Amino acid sequence: SWEGASFVELGAGLGLCSIVAQRMGMAVVATDGDASVLEQLVANARRNPCAGKGTKLRTKLLKWGVSKPMQVCGLDAPADVIVATGCVYGRDKGVWESLVQTLVHLSAPGTLVVMAHGSGAAP
């Protein structure tokens, strides 16, 4: 069961994965590094409330590579699950390095990290 697991979505965009995770009973933090995208994410989360699970979908502005991403996300412990789907485009080495740094800071040995990128999104 995923009930009560902590879940972080990086580069959430409109937050589809986060909304599904919340409906599965996970404690969700949906993040994006673009303030205008985050506004849309917040609106989408409000339009898709999850009744009865007792979990809240939190949204946070998170720039990859910051020194304390757990603090930015409001986490006391590493996430149980981290998802990043279709959030990196191109071959900018610095972007990929910042993503990896953020993943390392948010995770622990038991963390499930799921990354998915469509055709042309990853090098």
Find out whether 82 and 112 touch, Cβ atoms under 8 Å. Answer: yes
* Exposed e or buried b per residue across 32-55, where buried means at least 16 C-beta atoms within 10 angstroms of its C-beta: bbeeebbeebbebbeebebeeeeb
| Per-residue confidence (pLDDT) for residue 118, from 0 to 100 | 64
Read off the pLDDT of residues 14-53 as tens digits, 9 standing for 90 and up. 999 999 999 899 999 999 999 999 999 999 988 988 766 5
Cα 58 from Cα 60, distance rounded (Å): 7
Beta bridge partners of residue 115, listed in sequence order: 84
Find out whether 31 and 47 touch, Cβ atoms under 8 Å. Answer: no
Find the distance separating the first CA and the last CA of the chain, reported in whole Å: 34
pTM (predicted TM-score): 0.91
Cα 57 from Cα 31, distance rounded (Å): 10
Q: Which of 3-12, 30-39, 43-52, 65-74 has the lowest mean pLDDT?
A: 43-52
What angle do helix axes 16-23 and 35-47 make, rounded to 10 degrees?
40
Percent residues over pLDDT 90 in the chain? 69
The mean pLDDT value of the chain amounts to 89
| Per-residue confidence (pLDDT) for residue 50, from 0 to 100 | 77
| Per-residue confidence (pLDDT) for residue 54, from 0 to 100 | 60
